[in-house]
Structure 1
Amino acid sequence: MNIIACYKWVLDEQDIKITAGSLTLDTSRAKGKISEYDKNAIEEAVVQAEGCGVEVISLTFGGSKAKQSLKDALSRGPAKGYWVNDAAADRADGYVTANVLAAAIRKIGDYGLVLFGEGSADTYGQQVGPRVATLLEIPAITFVSQFKIEGDTVTAIRKLENCTEQISAKLPVVITVLPEINKPRIPSLKQVLGAAKKSAQEWKVTDLGLDTQALEPKTKVKSIQGFVMKRKNQIYKAGTVEEKVEAFVTALNKDGVL
């Protein structure tokens, strides 16, 4: 059974500017990219497929601009890609995205493993992977730092806040991976050129048999503002080194830092 690597096309945060005064985000010059967390998912899918002798399929849900992602995703190792093209992706929350991806995965079929990044680089809701697993009625293993496939079983190490946890589950399984699981490859020129020859299929939401309720977000973003950190910039000049350190520590205690 094949491995499906899901990813999201997001704005490059390095290109996003904060408008002075209003703190609104200026995305007019922001370019798109595959979410950094999802690059780990694609990379791990390819690595695992090489060991199992199966095929990797990339899958994304996005608007017209997401078409740019197909060549990039395929240059990273997947044999073919699917793109669910719909303007609804621009306002989709985790609920809608999971409904669309789960329906697309059912349509693709013949999957043993579905990989996600731990969250997307824009909203970082960490909901889509577990939601897709619930819709597909298969196990979900989240926050995975390493895993291996043996036969029809996957054994994974989950990294939690103050411990690690080892879990095994029968395929098919949804796994969300942490960035530390690997270092995504930088595609070579040969891989980039080869990606243009691979199959990339476009679907519309209407091809997936979803009703209108499945495409109605449960949460709606009214506005987004940038955050500007204000610093006190206090400089301690008077006194000896010991006195300066004491004054510094006193100030931190007063502000509740220590």
Structure 2
Amino acid sequence: MSNIIACYKWVLDEADIKINPDQSIDTNKAKGKISDYDKNAIEAVVQAAKTLGGKAVGLTFGNAKTKQSLKDALSRGLEEGYWINSEQAVTADGAVTAKVLAAAIKKIGDVSLVVCAEGASDTYARQTAPRVGAALDLPVVSSVCKMEIKGNTLIAQRKLYDCLETVKVELPAVVSVLPETCVPTIPGLKAVMAAGKKPITEYKGEDLGVDFTTKTKVTEVKGYVMNRKNIILNGGQVADQVNELATFLRKEGVL
């Protein structure tokens, strides 16, 4: 039975993050969660495993706090979980993360499909799938909004800037999915209880033979401030106000 792998990330819940008056970030009270976009990747893997007759597997790279993500991931339909345990995950950039994930995927073996989210909900760097594909020497299909598997062929619809593109690729392959690809499962009590009995394998980061030297370094994190134009439309007919609003939106590139 081949493995269909969902790569997911344990991130801070943005609802718990506080932005101070000086734009510095306070994460002291922030709890962790599976990246919202990665929940779509997990669901895509569960569905693909049913089609391929394979095993739906979850794979995550993180420090000790990440261990608590495994039960949540497994309650979403995955059959087995793999956790790469390393404190260096906190400072790992896209290059290191991809190398670590690729090394673990090779160790798991017999992989038909690897699915990532297009980006994580904390950084949305969009690097993981392309870099993992390159490390594994597998074809990569990104920005996928719909996918179908027929035999050993994956047919994916990609959402580009101004059009949709349909591509076919022979498995094994690496795919990054957009949120509209599928609707994540909301685990019930029975699924949560069953998740505690599913197998989990822990890899130590240092045992994967990967160089953890990063190519980039985060020097500062600040809150984003949006300076609004505060344009007020009043007076005149409603139709004139709507036309004026549409004109401003076109100038901003919204329409």
- Which TM-score applies when normalising by structure 2? 0.91
Task: Give the match for residue 125 of structure 2.
Answer: 125
C-alpha separation between the residues in 2 aligned to 1:254 and 1:51? 46
C-alpha separation between the residues in 2 aligned to 1:240 and 1:33? 48
C-alpha separation between the residues in 1 aligned to 2:141 and 2:130? 8
Provide the identity percentage.
53
C-alpha separation between the residues in 2 aligned to 1:247 and 1:146? 37
Runs of 4+ in 1 over 3 A off after TM superposition: 230-258
- 231 and 191 in structure 1: CA distance in 2 versus 1, 3 angstrom threshold: same
* Cα offsets for 1:189-225 (capped at 9, x unmatched): 0000000000011111122122xxx211111110011
* Cα offsets for 1:202-258 (capped at 9, x unmatched): 111122122xxx211111110011022334546566788899899989999999999
Counterpart AA for 1:16: I
SS at match of 2:219: coil
Would you say 1:219 and 2:216 are equivalent positions?
yes
Would you say 1:48 and 2:48 are equivalent positions?
yes
C-alpha separation between the residues in 1 aligned to 2:247 and 2:50? 58
Counterpart AA for 1:6: C
Aligned residues, how many? 254
- 134 and 232 in structure 1: CA distance in 2 versus 1, 3 angstrom threshold: closer
What is the 5 A alignment of 1:1-258? 1-20=2-21, 22-210=22-210, 214-231=211-228, 233=230, 235=232
RMSD, aligned α-carbons: 2.6
- 142 and 239 in structure 1: CA distance in 2 versus 1, 3 angstrom threshold: closer
- 184 and 253 in structure 1: CA distance in 2 versus 1, 3 angstrom threshold: closer
Please tell me whether Structure 1 or Structure 2 has the larger radius of gyration of its CA atoms.
Answer: 1
* Cα offsets for 1:71-110 (capped at 9, x unmatched): 0000001110000010110001100000100000000001
C-alpha separation between the residues in 2 aligned to 1:219 and 1:161? 28
* Cα offsets for 1:133-154 (capped at 9, x unmatched): 0010010000011111122211
- Higher deviation after alignment, 200-209 or 121-130: 200-209
C-alpha separation between the residues in 2 aligned to 1:229 and 1:174? 36
- 239 and 131 in structure 1: CA distance in 2 versus 1, 3 angstrom threshold: closer
